[in-house]
Structure 1
């Protein structure tokens, strides 16, 4: 039984969603075609453009995207606005009220839907540990 619990814990920690900041030097990388699909995100005029890539290397090569999140873009809510690594590092947020639903990554195990919290704005949402992305407005009550 202890062995089963240990294997279950290892499986859960292995499924964490990793956010990776791409280098911004515009280099072309020699990438493998080994599939480990990622959602690549690039912000253009304040709008996140999301595209699924075969792997992290191909997404980041030649500056195609700013950062990646593990998994296909289609696996997430269409309106998801991912918290970038630079947003996670901000030390201060303004007090502007623009309600956001802050959705947790897979490290947080929720017992009920939604696996999210209400926050006053996007900046404060992305400051919360284990928040992966936000959606506009208050969190849904249930599905």
Structure 2
């Protein structure tokens, strides 16, 4: 049973998809009540890596919030608290600075992984997010990551 729970948790951590809200979605006046939670990301205008996140009932509700720039599938709580989500357009950057602040970049669902963590080490946030398959990152090296704890009470 524990192996099944671990597999589900790992799948949850590796299935992120960062999707930019379209202009049409931003204009939505009404949204359905379907519950397909997403994690809406608001970007701090002074620092593109400074973010505020909130769980919304669906993508329409997230994008209807004028401050949400993009969303990630699933509830915010299923991601590590220290996660920084890569902007969907970050891979368009031409270059990154060379400062060394190591991060573990976690891949989106387009990469199939067979072990935790489903990611790769990068020298800094920019170099991680310039890879279009990185959905989010956490500080430090991937080898230091702990398996996410489930919401099971024992």
Cα contact 1:39–1:73 (8 A) shared by 2 = yes
Q: TM-score, normalised by structure 1?
A: 0.78
1:127 alignment counterpart = 130
1:13-70 residue CA offsets vs partner (Å, 9 max, x unmatched):
xx95432212469634321111111000002243211100011111111413111011
Gaps of 5+ in 2: 1-10, 147-154
- Counterpart CA distance in 1 for 2:135 and 2:91 is 10
Larger Rg: 1
Cα contact 1:79–1:135 (8 A) shared by 2 = yes
Note the C-alpha offset of 1:105: 1.7
Cα contact 1:114–1:141 (8 A) shared by 2 = no
**Number of equivalent positions:** 130
Aligned alpha-carbon RMSD (Å) = 2.3
- Counterpart CA distance in 1 for 2:145 and 2:53 is 26
2:141 counterpart SS class: coil
2:150 alignment counterpart = none
Gaps of 5+ in 1: 1-11
Output aligned runs, 1:36-55, within 5 Å: 36-44=36-44, 45-46=46-47, 47-55=50-58
- Counterpart CA distance in 1 for 2:105 and 2:98 is 16
Q: TM-score, normalised by structure 2?
A: 0.73
- Counterpart CA distance in 1 for 2:85 and 2:93 is 15
Output aligned runs, 1:69-84, within 5 Å: 69-84=72-87
Cα contact 1:102–1:135 (8 A) shared by 2 = yes
Q: Which structure's relative contact order is higher, taking Cα pairs within 8 Å and 6+ residues apart?
A: 2
1:6 alignment counterpart = none
1:21 alignment counterpart = 20
1:85 counterpart SS class: coil
Note the C-alpha offset of 1:141: 4.5
